[in-house]
Amino acid sequence: MGRHAILLAIGLGVNLVNAAGNCEMVFQACPGSFGNTVLTVPKDVIWVNPVFPACQERIQVSVGGPASPPSIVFIIDNSGSMSEDKDKEGEGNDPGQARFNVVRTLLDSLRAASPQAEVGLVIFTRRLAFDHRENPFFKTAFPGDTSQHDSFVPLTPLNRVFPDGTTGADTLKALLKYHGKGNLDYNTALPGSRPNSTYGPLSTRDGTDITLGFQAAKVAMQDSRAAKNDQYFIFLSDGAPGSVDVGREDMQDDFIQGANTPTTFTVFFKAGGSEPKAPANVVKMTENIRANGYSAGNPKSNYWALNLPGSQLLALLQSNVINTILTSAPSKPKSATLEAGGKVRSNSSLAAGTFTFPQRIPLAPDQTVLSFTYTYTYQDSGRIKEKSLPYTLTVKRSQTDPSLPDSIGSNCREPAALSLLHAGRPVERITADQTELEARLTLPPGETCAACPLQVMPSQSADRETLPLEAASGYYAAGFTRGVSQTPSPGNGRLEHTAADSIVLVYRNPENPLDSVRRSFPYVDVQTGMSLEYHNSYSQGQDPGSSGDGKHWLLTGAGATSAASNDPARCCSVLDGALSREDSVKYVGMKVEASRAFRLELRVFSTLGQFVDKLTLTMPQSGFQNLEPGSKEGWKRLRILWRNRALNGGPVGTGAYVIKSTLTMLKVPGISEVETTLSDVRVIGVVR
């Protein structure tokens, strides 16, 4: 198949344009509300919107400073594994009963710092430690269910004064008293409400139903007078559920889900060993509570593991938990920084509770760590102070196009557009004569680019040229030259490629390589070329028009029937095969050679300027490929011979005549978008 046949086969197909997604993730909640977690986003998300909500943080202040009274429920594991009720000393994970002793001490600290603080107690094994049937002060964990009687100590203000003069703090401390190895003095003596296949109905220290403990704590928290941000659970356990009552087997691990749970601080007890480690269920529960959206403080939920609770628990709870709860004050956002990809950015504005950074943040191909530092002002003991809080998030781009996480929106734009021009006109394909080209980059509305580079390259061979783009009216542009070469020299400013290459433009945003667009332009190795040659300088012999068909002109050569004239009555006879030597001398006329579709105009005059005959002939691109090969690669040939007739149909006499010829190369989409003309004037002779 010839080169023009190949061109016809590819037709005017659309160029391949490759562009990455151009979407940005938009934070609709403060970074702290997501916890230290991984946010998975679709692969077309390549940016982070530069506007971030500030967090409604409460900042630790001095003890006794202004703070809202919190609501705290202690969830305490009193199963046998915590402290075995046996004769041997030192057994269990809390052999010194720190879970009770330390909490009693903390109640005094709480009362001194925040007298109005509310505290509740949920003490559990396979059942709860108290029963409302014994004392109406206790509240059932199953309101409305008269078949179950497990109860807890309700939220009680520490400064509450009961009729007998005791305070809420005193009452709570009394209910934490124990004898022996963790046997509470006020533990219910009534049988359990549910059967248990392992233990009898009077068992109060066996089995571990952590879910039951959290169920009761949630019921207790329903009576809280504090905002959700000031509600807390403090969970003390060795973290191993088991031997739950009949009917609760399927709920044994429900606590891990962390649903509808306020900020929770967990201390895991594991006596012995050098480096205790919290079990997986505690870790997972904490992660879920951090992310459950119950309050803005939930991401602060945490856990610790202790191997010497008797000496470690008080200091840990006081410094890491209680002080944080008690000594908080509302804050106002002041400033923010964000580190991502090794670059630190500072906010450029603060308005309506949001920080705005100067530019959107690019994401890495796989995952990006966003490290925020928000600075707040707050009042402490009558003075305005500042505190900076860190938040860290990991954003992972998925190749499976997941949905966006909750509280994350998206904003997508059209990608940048690339185009190629020759002589100021857009082109879809490049031809051999188009050596001077201009590349243009059009960015989405609102985007700018300083010193943007554009790379131009062949599709297969080795040349690479980087073009500095200059701003123009609504676009960026760069001119370059190109040529066919088998020995390219990359970086010399001229694109050198083979005839088999396409020309490829690639734009990559300097701020984010994922923001890229690639466009390929096919190359057609066809030059604009044409020539006019004369068949003879004169004709001789008998009248060549004696055939009687009335045609003034004769076409010869393969494919001649594809030509069309605007005066078919006089054009044209077609001769199949080649002229014999004897016949050839009977005619004068033109031999046209061209590299694409053309139009030929011939006018014949006498030497005195009298009009004699004319011809207008068009060869379309669809028929051009059928012509016989010309003298150059890719060129085609056609002969147009005059039968020595006048316009009125009669033969001309012997003498000299003038032929004026105009050959015009036509526009052919994908080959050339311009017309090119060649003219000639020649004197010929006719001899009878």
Residue 46: pLDDT above 70?
A: yes
Strands 130-131 and 150-157, how do they pair?
antiparallel
Question: Which two tokens mark 576?
Answer: 């199949």
> pLDDT tens digits, residue range 22-38?
899 999 988 877 755 68
Point out which residues pair with 376 in neighbouring strands: 333, 387
Q: Torsion over CA of 451, 452, 457 and 463, rounded to 10 degrees?
A: 30
| Local structure of residue 221 (DSSP, 8 states) | H
What whole-number distance in Å separates Cα of residue 196 and Cα of residue 201? 7
Report the pLDDT value the prediction gives residue 16, as an integer from 0 to 100. 39
Pair 542, 599: CB distance under 8 Å: no
Report the pLDDT value the prediction gives residue 113, as an integer from 0 to 100. 65
Picking from 108, 104, 77, the residue whose alpha carbon sits closest to that of residue 93 is: 77
What whole-number distance in Å separates Cα of residue 327 and Cα of residue 68? 9
> pLDDT tens digits, residue range 71-81?
999 999 999 88
Range with top average pLDDT, 337-346, 576-585, 632-641 = 337-346
Range with top average pLDDT, 302-316, 441-455, 469-483 = 469-483
Q: Minimum mean pLDDT among 122-131, 177-186, 188-197, 308-317: which range?
A: 308-317
Letter string b/e over residues 61-89, b meaning 16 or more CB atoms within 10 A of that residue's CB: beeebebbbbbbbbbbbbbbbbbbeeeee
**Protein fold of 530-686:** Immunoglobulin-like (2.60.40)
> Domain coordinates of the chain in residue numbers?
3-16+414-524, 23-58+337-412, 70-327, 530-686
CA 470 vs. chain centroid, Å, equals: 28
* Mean pLDDT of the region 261-278: 88
Q: Minimum mean pLDDT among 97-101, 121-125, 615-619: which range?
A: 97-101
Identical fold at 70-327 and 530-686? no
Backbone angles phi, psi at 281, to 5 degrees: -70, -35
Confidence of residue 319 (pLDDT cuts 50, 70, 90): confident
Q: What is the DSSP string of 450-469?
A: SS-EEEEEESSSS--EEEE-
* Mean pLDDT of the region 537-560: 80
Pair 237, 266: CB distance under 8 Å: yes
Confidence of residue 58 (pLDDT cuts 50, 70, 90): low
Report the pLDDT value the prediction gives residue 18, as an integer from 0 to 100. 43
Average pLDDT, the chain: 87
Report the pLDDT value the prediction gives residue 463, as an integer from 0 to 100. 92
CATH architecture type of domain 23-58+337-412 = Sandwich (2.60)
**Protein fold of 3-16+414-524:** Immunoglobulin-like (2.60.40)
Across the beta sheet with 655-665, the strand order is 538-539, 676-686, 655-665, 598-606, 611-619, 564-565
Report the pLDDT value the prediction gives residue 352, as an integer from 0 to 100. 86
The proportion of the chain whose per-residue pLDDT surpasses 70, expressed as a percent, equals 91
* Mean pLDDT of the region 315-341: 83
Q: Minimum mean pLDDT among 233-247, 430-444, 536-550, 656-670: which range?
A: 536-550
Report the pLDDT value the prediction gives residue 133, as an integer from 0 to 100. 96
* Mean pLDDT of the region 121-146: 96
Q: Minimum mean pLDDT among 18-22, 238-242, 285-289, 535-539: which range?
A: 18-22
3 state SS for 512-581: EEEEEEEEEECEECCCCCEEEEECCCEECCCCCCCCCCCCCEEEECCCHHHCEECCCCCCCEEECCCCCH
Report the pLDDT value the prediction gives residue 590, as an integer from 0 to 100. 92
Residue at 620: amino acid letter: P
Report the SS3 class of residue 491: coil
Confidence of residue 670 (pLDDT cuts 50, 70, 90): low
Question: Which two tokens mark 361?
Answer: 């943040």
The enclosing H or E element of 382 equals none
* Mean pLDDT of the region 223-239: 93
Question: Which two tokens mark 647?
Answer: 């316009």
Report the pLDDT value the prediction gives residue 489, as an integer from 0 to 100. 84
Report the pLDDT value the prediction gives residue 660, as an integer from 0 to 100. 96
Question: Which two tokens mark 612?
Answer: 């004699």
What whole-number distance in Å separates Cα of residue 635 and Cα of residue 631? 7
* Mean pLDDT of the region 417-432: 89
Angle between helices 168-175 and 98-113 (to 10 degrees): 170
* Mean pLDDT of the region 369-378: 92
Q: Minimum mean pLDDT among 108-117, 183-192, 223-232, 541-550: which range?
A: 541-550
CATH architecture type of domain 70-327 = 3-Layer(aba) Sandwich (3.40)
- CB-based contacts of 116, cutoff 8 Å, min separation 6: 69, 157, 158, 159
Residue at 235: amino acid letter: F
Question: Which two tokens mark 304?
Answer: 């610790």
